[in-house]
Structure 1
Amino acid sequence: MIELRHLRYFAAVAEELNFRRASERIHIEQSPLSRAVRDLEEDLGVPLFVRLPRGLKLTPAGLKLLTECRKLLVQLERVKRTVRHTHALYQAPMRVGVADGIAQPRLSECFNRWRLIAPEVPLEIEEMRARELANALRNEEVDVGFSFGVSDDEAIAQTPAWRYRVMALLPRGHELAERFTVPLPELLAFPLLSCNEERLPGLLAQMRLIMHKHIEQATLAGAASTLSGYVTRIAAGAGVGLADAGHTWALQRDDVLAVPLAEEEHITTFVLHKHQRFGIAEPLKRFLAHVSTLS
C-alpha cells in the first residue's frame, strides 16, 4: 500500500536527484529512504528513476508522478490549514466578567483589539456585581474579570489594568463650574455624593483613599448604586461628585460638568483572574499580556 511518506520521500529525491542530499533535506538515513523509493516503484509496477553513475534521472513515469505529488502535497497543506482554522473558530470562548458597570473607552478598546489579534478566541462577556465576580472567578464560572477592585482573596489575583485621572462632577451652574481645575479640598467643602458599598466596594474604597489624603471627614449627600444614578443625582443638584475621566467621556451630559482636579489623583481599573496551582491556560496568559499593553 502506498503511504503518504512514500510520496514525500519520492518528491524529495526527485527534486534533488541525489539520495544523500534528499536524506539531509528530510532528515532520514539514506538506507530507509532508498528502500521507500524501491517499495514505491514495486507498488506502482514502474521504474521512477534511471540510476546513472553520476546520479539519478527521472523516467517519464517518475516525472509525471512528481507533478501529481506536488499537487497532492499542496492540497494536503490546504486541507490541514482549513481543519486548523475550523478548529480555531469553534474553540470555547473566554468568559469575561465585567463588574461595577464599567463603561470606559479603554475597556472597549481592550475587547476590540483582542478580536483583531486573536479572532480564534472569542469573548463571552457578562455583567455582574463585584462580589458576584469574585465568586464567579473562584468557582471558575468566568476566566477573567474587570473591576474597580474586590475584597482581598488569596484565590484571586488583582492586577492594575489601566487608570484614569479623577474629575470633579458638578451640576451646571455650580459656583466651581467655571474653574479650569478644582482643588479637592474646595470640592469636598460641598456635600459629596458617594457610592453604594454593597454595589461598588472597590470604587468606594478608592474614593475614600483619595478623600482622606486631603480631608479628615467629608459631608456625604447619599450613595448611588450605579454610575447613571450617580450622574443623575448630581445633575439634580443633590451634591457634587468624583468620577474617572473614562466614564465622564462615556456619559457626557449637558446638565453635568466634568472639571479636572488640581491634584493628580487616579481611579484604577483592575483585571482579575483565579490563581491556578499548575499555571494559567495559554489563552488567558495571552489575554493578560494583551491587557498589560493598554496601561
Structure 2
Amino acid sequence: MEIRHLRYFIAVAEELHFARAAQRLHIEQSPLSRAIKHLEHRLGVQLFERTTRTTRLTWAGQIFLDEARHVLFTLQQAIASAKAAAKGYRGKLRIALSDDIDPVRLSVLLAQCREEEPDVEIRLFEVPLAQQLVGLRYGLYDAGFTQTLDEPDGIVSQVVWSDSLVVAVPARHPLLAHTDIPIEEVLRYPLIQCHPQSCEGSHRQIQHYLRTLRAAPVIAEQVATFDLMMVFVAAGFGIGLANESHTNTCRHLDVVTRPLSGNRLAVETRLLRLDAEPSAPLRRFIDRIGSLQLGSAMRN
C-alpha cells in the first residue's frame, strides 16, 4: 500500500464523487478508480458502495477514513518535526484552535513563548472542536483552545480567560440611547449570529445564555466570521452579539458597541489537554497563560 492510496481514498470519501475527487487530486478519473479498487483488494474489504448515481462509504470505509486521516496527519507531523530539528528546534508544542480565539491574547502569548523558549517550536492547527478532541485523545495535539462548556471524559478543561458579551449596533441606532443596553431591548431586533460550526463554543455559550432568559430571538443572518458580522450590522441587517475581544479586533466605522446591562454574560475560553501529567514544555506554556491572565487583569 502506498501513501497516495490513502490520499486518493480520503479525497473520494470526502467528495463522495469520483469525478470531483479526481479533479481535486489533479488526476484522471480512471487511475483513481483503479487505485481505489486496488486498495479494497489489498485490505480485503469494500470501502464504498457505488451505483450509477451515488457513492457512499460502507461502515468499514467510515472506520478506515478516521484511521487514514490519522496516518496522514502523523506522517505530516513527522516531516514537520524533521524539518524543525534541522532548523535547530529542540522541542515542539502542537496547539489546536477551535472557535475564533482572541488574536490579541494569542499573539502576546506566542511572542512570550518565542522570547523565553526560542528552541521550542509551536505549531497551530485551526480545527473544529470535534476534531480537536479526537486529536487530543490520539496524541496529535498537546493542548487546544476552545470556548466549549463541555468537559469530555479524559480531558482536563481549564478556564484561561473570559470576555464580556457586548452588543454591536449600527451607528445612529435607537439602542444607542442606552449606555448599557438591556438584553430585552436587544431582542426586539433581528440578530446577526456567528455560525455554530465556525464558532461552536461561543455560539453554545450565547445560546445557553438566551435560553436562561427564555428568549426566542429572530435570527437575520449566520456568518462565518466576526468581520462579516460587523459588515451586516453596519448595513443595518440586524444587531450583533459578540465577545468584546472580537469586536475590538473587528472594528467598523459604522458600528458602535455597548455593554449589556443587568445579567451579563462572560464568554469563557478554555485550554483542553489530556488528563495526564503534562510535558515540561506544556507545563511552561500553561504557566505563561496564567501570567498573561494576571497581566491582563493588572492592565484593566
State the TM bucket, normalised to the shorter chain: 0.5 to 0.7
Which one-letter code corresponds to 1:286 in the other structure?
R
TM-score, normalized by length of structure 2?
0.63
Q: Which residue is 2:233 aligned to?
A: 234
Q: 1:285 aligns with which of 283, 286, 293?
A: 283
Q: Which residue is 2:270 aligned to?
A: 270
Aligned-residue Cα RMSD (Å) equals 2.4
CA distance in structure 1 between the partners assigned to 2:104 and 2:220 by the alignment:
28
Which one-letter code corresponds to 2:280 in the other structure?
E
Q: Which residue is 2:28 aligned to?
A: none
Q: Which residue is 2:152 aligned to?
A: 153
CA distance in structure 1 between the partners assigned to 2:122 and 2:149 by the alignment:
22
CA distance in structure 1 between the partners assigned to 2:270 and 2:110 by the alignment:
15
Which one-letter code corresponds to 1:139 in the other structure?
Y
* 1:17-40 residue CA offsets vs partner (Å, 9 max, x unmatched): xxxxxxxxxxxxxxxxxxxxxxxx
The CA deviation at 1:94 is 0.9
Q: Which residue is 1:97 aligned to?
A: 96
Number of matched residues? Answer: 208
TM-score, normalized by length of structure 1?
0.64
The answer to whether the 8 Å contact 1:101/1:127 transfers is: no
Q: State the identity %.
A: 25
CA distance in structure 1 between the partners assigned to 2:285 and 2:232 by the alignment:
37
The answer to whether the 8 Å contact 1:99/1:147 transfers is: yes
1:1-295 superposed matches below 5 A: 89-149=88-148, 151-263=150-262, 264-276=264-276, 279-295=277-293
C-alpha distance 92-117 of structure 1, shift in aligned 2 (>3 A): closer
Q: Which residue is 2:20 aligned to?
A: none
Unaligned runs of 5+ in 1: 1-85
CA distance in structure 2 between the partners assigned to 1:115 and 1:168 by the alignment:
35
CA distance in structure 2 between the partners assigned to 1:261 and 1:91 by the alignment:
47
Which one-letter code corresponds to 1:262 in the other structure?
S
The CA deviation at 1:135 is 2.3
Which one-letter code corresponds to 2:289 in the other structure?
V
The CA deviation at 1:93 is 1.9
Which one-letter code corresponds to 1:190 in the other structure?
Y
The answer to whether the 8 Å contact 2:226/2:247 transfers is: no
Q: Higher Cα Rg: structure 1 or 2?
A: 1
The answer to whether the 8 Å contact 2:232/2:238 transfers is: yes
The answer to whether the 8 Å contact 2:149/2:205 transfers is: no
Unaligned runs of 5+ in 2: 1-84, 294-300
The answer to whether the 8 Å contact 1:150/1:201 transfers is: no
The answer to whether the 8 Å contact 1:99/1:130 transfers is: yes
